[in-house]
């Protein structure tokens, strides 16, 4: 499988559950894992969030990649904009990663909070 990552920018609401689906049509993702990182900039050494198929990312046989970040996590984010990318790879072989999607995230700050 080879592909160029799709560029997609989105908005995330601070303090709200974040759900996002990426569909890679006609690809059975059984036997694959995924990782997504959010950083302030591409060159930043600090990872704001790392999501994996062990917790926040689900892959299926229909080519769907579902990402879910709990409201308790998004409430802790304090960036204005950040960058991300999402990679998939055959389970146990991260050296064969394929970047699927990348872009920027604009955080919409929460008004109602405890």
114 located within any domain: no
Query: Cα separations (Å) of 107 from 29, 31, 38, 44?
Result: 30, 33, 12, 18
The pLDDT of residue 37 is above 60: yes
pLDDT in tens, 56-89: 999 999 999 999 999 999 999 999 999 999 999 9
Count up the domains in the chain and report the number.
1
Residue at token pair 């006609």: 26
> What's the CATH number where 44 sits?
2.60.40.10
pLDDT in tens, 20-34: 999 988 899 999 999
- For the entire predicted model, the pTM comes to 0.89
83 located within any domain: yes
1 located within any domain: no
58 located within any domain: yes
The band of 6, judged by pLDDT with boundaries at 50, 70 and 90, is: very high
Question: What residues make up the domain containing 91?
Answer: 6-108
């Amino acid at each position: 499988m080879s592909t160029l990552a799709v560029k997609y920018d989105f908005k995330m609401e601070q303090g709200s559950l974040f759900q996002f689906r990426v569909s890679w049509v006609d690809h059975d993702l059984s036997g694959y894992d995924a990782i997504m990182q959010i950083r302030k900039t591409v060159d930043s050494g600090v990872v704001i969030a790392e999501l994996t198929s062990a917790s926040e990312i689900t892959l299926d046989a229909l080519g769907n990649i579902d990402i879910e970040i709990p409201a308790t996590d998004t409430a802790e984010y304090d960036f204005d904009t950040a960058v991300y990318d999402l990679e998939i790879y055959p389970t146990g072989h991260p050296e064969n990663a394929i970047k699927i999607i990348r872009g920027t995230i604009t955080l919409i700050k929460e008004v109602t909070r405890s």
